[in-house]
Amino acid sequence: MQSVAQSWLVLELTHSTFQVGLVVALQFTPILIFGLFAGVIVDRLDKRRALVVTQTLAAAQAAALAILTVTGAVRVEHVMLLAALLGTVNALDMPMRQAFVTEMVGRRDVMNAVALNSSAFNIARIIGPAIGGVLIGLAGVATAFFVNAVTFVAVIGALLMMRREELHPVERAAKETVWSGLRGGLGFVRRTPVVYVSILLVGIVATFGMNFNVILPGMARDIFRIGSTGFGLLMSSIGVGSLVAGLFLAFFQRVDPVRLMVQGALGFSVLSLAFAFSPHFAGLAWVILNLVAIGFCTICMTATANTNLQRTAPDALRGRVMSVYITIFAGTMPLGSLFAGWLASRFGAPVALGSGGLLSAVGTAWAWWQLSRHGTVAADAAEPKSERAAIARAGDTGR
């Protein structure tokens, strides 16, 4: 809901698609800067307690946006600053949440957990934009910000209610210098083909292809002429497809996550190219179906990539491996947002979408070649038999 409201607010304040992209870029830049170092910290922390702190800070950011907007004092500079502050919090929060999944369910059930997490997340992506679009039309963007701030009470309450004794014990990282810890995590990523291919493939597609929150506001207003409510509907359509994919992965686990990851990336690329041409020949119903399919392929790619990393990384390195994933996945989005915003402003939204789809296809071809060269091994087969041996192979001299 806040994502829709923030994009719409910036568009109302500036009437510039580029400025929308700039705000998104500022929100993800701190992840690019601090993400790798955050992983070293995550491997040493009590993740449940630390998540309570980061979620409280995120709630405060949403509340500040609500107050500034409802008082009429908001300017685009305020939105930029608060977006950057949220990005700084997320630099620690995002890899910590990902690494915490295995502590909750254990390594054996991690694919099911990641899939169910994707389902819950995408239910929010369906409900949030739809309600957000209606709220913006009826009561203004401040209401959406306020509702988002209040919902953090449920998140924080859920974390506090967890029974610590039922969490799966994991090996904590040894005390070492930041650089030594960082070198160990990067060394493991570099030496494990299924890990670095998963990370880079998702990074390429996220950077160049997943820029719908930048491009769709302008398309909803200027091309499809359906306003803020229609914009929420378009974003919700992606969420519907993502939810279906999450349920599919949760209930049908007899899939090769490595192969499905590449197939999802290929489907995303082809469908993005088709969507780029849709304003010239297709009606709104076809556009919505296309976005549903794009959402499905997106989760098939990202959830299986996440599974590959969770199953392969040893406990004491999981936070660092996930921080590399988050840094590449989310941290490079500022570059993609600026790229997409500039292309959309200069040449139009279809060109921006088509370019993203084409570059995503190139990245998919590279990933398929790399996996074929090393052998498309299922993630289970890649699990290290010894956590200590895996860390030693990664060059972690601190162990």
> What mean pLDDT comes out for the span 361-369?
94
Whether the per-residue pLDDT at 271 is higher than 90: the answer is yes
In angstroms, rounded to a whole number, what is the distance separating the alpha carbons of residues 357 and 351?
Answer: 10
pLDDT at 281 over 70: no
Tell me what pLDDT residue 197 has.
92
Q: Domain 2-393 carries which CATH code?
A: 1.20.1250.20
Q: Which is nearest to 248 in space by CA: 258, 232, 260, 259?
A: 260
Residue 362: its pLDDT value, please? 95
Q: What's the pLDDT band for 386 if we cut at 50, 70, 90?
A: very low
pLDDT of 323 above 60: yes
Question: What is the domain partition of the chain in residue ranges?
Answer: 2-393
Rounded to two decimals, the pTM is 0.69
Most confident of 5-9, 131-135, 224-228, 319-323: 5-9
Q: How confident is the model at residue 378 (pLDDT cuts 50, 70, 90)?
A: very low
Sign of CA dihedral 101, 105, 111, 113: negative
367 vs 225 pLDDT, higher one: 367
Count each helix (H run) and each strand (E run) in the chain, helices first: 16, 0
Q: Which residue has the higher pLDDT, 379 or 215?
A: 215
Give the tens place of pLDDT for each residue, 164-194.
888 887 766 566 666 777 778 888 888 888 8
Cβ contact 330:206 at 8 Å: yes
3-class DSSP assignment, residue 225: coil
Confidence of residue 86 (pLDDT cuts 50, 70, 90): very high
Most confidently modeled range among 46-60, 265-279, 344-358: 46-60
